[in-house]
Structure 1
Amino acid sequence: MKNIEFGLMTFADMAPETVSEKGTNAHQRIQNLLEEVKLADELGIDVFGLGEHHRDDYSVSSPTTVLGAAAAITKDIKLSSAVTVLSSDDPVRVYQQFATIDLISGGRAEIMAGRGSFIESFPLFGYDLGDYNELFEEKLELLLEINKSEKVNWSGKLRAPIHNLGVYPRAVEGEIPVWLAAGGTPSSAVRAAKLKLPLMLAIIGGMPENFIPFINLYKKTALESGTSAEDLQVGINNHVFIGENDEEIADAFFPHYAQMMDRVGRSRGWQPMSRQQFEFMRSKRGSLIVGSVEKVIDKIVLEHEMFGFTRFMAHTSLGTVPHELTMKSIELYGNEVIPEVKRRLGL
């Protein structure tokens, strides 16, 4: 069996600031975030991913800045975006910033590129939502070209061309690992496969089994596109929270999770989350991996049976859950969940 990596990711959620123009809550949230990534590194967790948002309920609009800080206080953990909203960014700057993280960390930077699940960055940076798909395709093409070649010749429709210019600094090994993040549309699976990029699938609702055809499409297309079975990389990302007692951690986590999902869902037409819905989501067939160590282990092993993933990302540190509960969850993930999952999978 291939080696499997286990990671953590977060969007660095926070309560919106209570005092206009001040950054008090964001300051504390980022201090907590750096404690989380330092603990993850000390526990031997493989990867830490950080999201990008431009809203008052998230503290990180510049993942590369925080990942650079994390690079300086960690030794082994890989440091990734989760995701870089590439459509509203510039691929030259994206490569330069991640190359800088790579140099600080000694070769531990990764890019997870995606279109993002929120659209606030488009008007903020002056992009037309009518170009949503074309922006991503064009900028991904340019990013991959920069990653591959020091000197770049490129032209497209929505960005000025580059004529034989160098992009510096270069990463430790020149190229930075790039993953493509997806939410489940078949076109995303096909795009990642044809570009020979590892795929990261976020499963935050419904039943994981419904995504089996999506992962199978990716694998089939990747093999047909020349990727060897040994080189196939598939990542799965779930919302995860762990406690020592199943019911107690569910009771402690539910109010924060429901508040967060309801806040996001108001703009998307979702119904408010009930406790009944929450309990179904964390049942065996649901997408939410919340509960005791044993329950979390069982669900991760089940998802491996479904998808054969090579990387599992636990999206933790969700909503406004108290920091001490998050740190305990990370500790249980690193010390108890990961070793037992590996044992059951024969790793």
Structure 2
Amino acid sequence: MTGRHFELGLNSFGDVASDGDGMLSDAETVRLLIEEVQLAEDVGLDIFSVGEHYREGQVDSASAVLLAAMSGVTDRIRLGTAVTVLSTNDPVRLFHEFSTLDAASNGRAQLVLGRASATESFPLFGYEIAEYEHLFEEKLELFLQLRRGGPTTWSGSTRPALTGQTLHPRLSEGGIPTWIGVGGSPDSVVRAARHGLPLMMAIIGGKPQRFSGNVQLYERALDQFGHAPQPIGQHSLGLVAPTDDEARELWWESWQPVVKTIASERGFYAPTRERYAMELDTGALFVGSPETVARKIATVAQDLHLSRFDLKYDLLGLSKAARAQTIDLFGREVAPMVNDLLTKEAPHA
């Protein structure tokens, strides 16, 4: 990382925001996201990514459409996903959507592909959760074949066969940068290495350094499969404010009810103040002043061999003002500070 630019971006799951009068509507939140990507570009961030969910309170169910709207109001910032649930997508349709986005945005489209941590798309689109692994593996093989370009001949069990099919619009040389998103599964790490694809680690709880074993596995597997080293990224949640105290209180107000709901659904830990403090100090929440957040990012970047860090800045009910403040401070203050710390090989915070 020393001497070269470390990439910093924002992730949104389309979480509905609030203002002084209460919660925004879904449509207002969609329009807010288009405003926020403009701010992200203005403050110099590298990439803005949108997830894919089908839950109450989230409006990212058509990420390709949303990213296309964003491409029309930006010029430089790259536009990606965080993540696309490939298992319940048609690879041919996905290719068409993102080759079109790539053309419209002048080569700024990116993808992070994943199996899904939230599985609402399986019943919604008529897929069996029992086919979770098979669907992803087969569809990934097809998508990567399509991405390479040229006539495609393919057959499998997850969609109709293709015989010498050429898709349009064609991709420019190099194709769409495609990452594999993982939540900690060693099998997923090895899959990314087998295909020679960059690795995006979703680290949303606990000490980020516990993923160091996955990083070592990935780097060894890349070498064993005969691939060159690939970028490693991290996705985590957080908020930036002028002071640590302000940031911590702002995030707690929205984070606590969200985690309480998730905990009841998935058996996660209860969102106590004590556990919250632990996540802030040594865990996966990047919440604080610009200096606090920058030093924490620089530390994990060194420990996990990262070349990219994406901050999920939106959270259900978080105010428009807090979101805008995070974007502004993350781009104007955190990003240059992180690059400065990494260039100087600063000691861990």
1:14 alignment partner in structure 2: 16
Residue of structure 1 in register with 2:256 after alignment: 258
* 2:100 and 2:169 in contact (8 A); partners too: yes
1:133-212 equivalences in 2 (<5 Å): 133-173=133-173, 175-212=175-212
Deviation at 1:262, TM superposition (A): 1.9
Query: For 1:6, what is the secondary structure of its paired residue?
Result: strand
Aligned twin of 1:279: 277
SS of residue matched to 1:210: helix
| Relative contact order, higher structure (CA 8 A, sep 6+) | 2
Are 2:1 and 1:3 aligned?
A: no
Match of 1:293 among 290, 293, 307: 290
Partner of 1:19: none
Partner of 1:336: 333
In structure 2, the CA distance between the partners of 1:3 and 1:226, relative to structure 1 (3 Å rule), is farther
Offset of 1:267 from its aligned partner?
Answer: 1.3
Cα drift, residue 174 of structure 1:
6.2
Taking the aligned partners of 2:322 and 2:158, their CA distance within structure 1 comes to 45
In 2, distance between residues paired with 1:172 and 1:305?
Answer: 33
Contact 1:85 1:114 in 2 (8 A): yes
Q: Distance in 1 between matches of 2:290 and 2:17?
A: 28
1:116 maps to 116
| TM-score (norm: length of structure 2) | 0.93
CA-to-partner distance for each residue in 1:201-225, whole Å, 9 max, x for gaps? 0110011111100111101111222
Q: 2:231 maps to which residue? A: 233
Distance 1:8 1:247, change over 3 A: same
Q: Say if 1:289 and 1:296, in contact at 8 Å, map to a contact too.
A: yes
Question: Is 1:88 the equivalent of 2:85?
Answer: no
CA–CA separation in structure 1 for the residues paired with 2:293 and 2:194 = 33
SS state at 1:267 partner: helix
Supply the AA of the counterpart residue of 2:232.
Answer: V
SS at match of 2:118: coil
1:47 positional shift: 0.7
Q: Which residue number in structure 1 is paired with residue 218 of structure 2?
A: 218
Task: Please give the per-residue CA displacement for 1:10-33, whole angstroms capped at 9, x wherever unaligned.
Answer: 1011279xxxxxx97111111111
Residue deviations 1:79-104, cap 9 Å, x none? 00111100001000101101111111
Deviation for aligned residue 1:111: 1.1
Matched residue SS, 1:109: coil
Separation in structure 1 between the aligned mates of residue 49 and residue 263 of structure 2, nearest angstrom: 23
User: Do the aligned residues in 2 keep the contact of 1:106 with 1:172 (CA within 8 Å)?
Assistant: no
Partners of 1:44 and 1:36 in 2: CA distance: 13
Q: State the SS of the aligned residue for 1:74.
A: coil
Please tell me the residue identity of whatever aligns with 1:137: E
SS at match of 1:257: helix
Alignment-mate amino acid for residue 194 of structure 1: R
Over residues 173-209 of structure 1, what are the superposed CA-to-partner deviations in whole Å (9 max), with x where a residue is unaligned? Answer: 3611111000011001100001000000011001111
**1:174–1:309 CA distance, 2 compared to 1 (3 A):** closer
Q: Supply the distance in 2 between the matched residues of 1:263 and 1:5 (Cα, whole angstroms).
A: 32
* Counterparts of 2:184 and 2:198, CA distance in 1: 14
Taking the aligned partners of 1:98 and 1:58, their CA distance within structure 2 comes to 22
The alignment-based identity, stated in percent, is: 36
| Counterpart contact for 2:50–2:80, Cα < 8 Å | yes
- Whichever residue aligns with residue 26 of structure 1, its letter is D
1:162 counterpart letter in structure 2: L
Structure 1 residue aligned with 2:103: 103
Shift of 1:172: 3.5
What is the rounded CA distance, in whole Å, between the counterparts of 1:92 and 1:159 in structure 2?
A: 9
Contact 2:17 2:315 in 1 (8 A): no
Classify 1:9/1:336 alpha carbon distance in 2 versus 1 (closer, same or farther; 3 Å). Answer: same
Matched, 1:52 2:49: no
Shift of 1:116: 1.6
Structure 1 counterpart SS, 2:245: helix
**Distance between the aligned counterparts of 1:256 and 1:208, measured in 2?**
22
Q: Which residue of 2 aligns with 1:247?
A: 245
- Alignment RMSD: 1.6
Provide structure 2 residue ranges, at least 5 long, that are not aligned to the other structure.
345-349
Question: How far, CA to CA, are the matches of 1:262 and 1:72 in structure 2?
Answer: 37
Query: Contact (CA 8 Å) 1:6, 1:46: kept in 2 or not?
Result: yes
Closer/same/farther in 2, CA of residues 287 and 150 from structure 1, 3 Å limit? same
Runs of at least 5 residues in structure 1 that lack an aligned partner in the other structure:
17-22
Does residue 305 of structure 2 align to residue 303 of structure 1? no
1:243 and 1:291 in contact (8 A); partners too: yes
Match of 1:77 in 2: 77
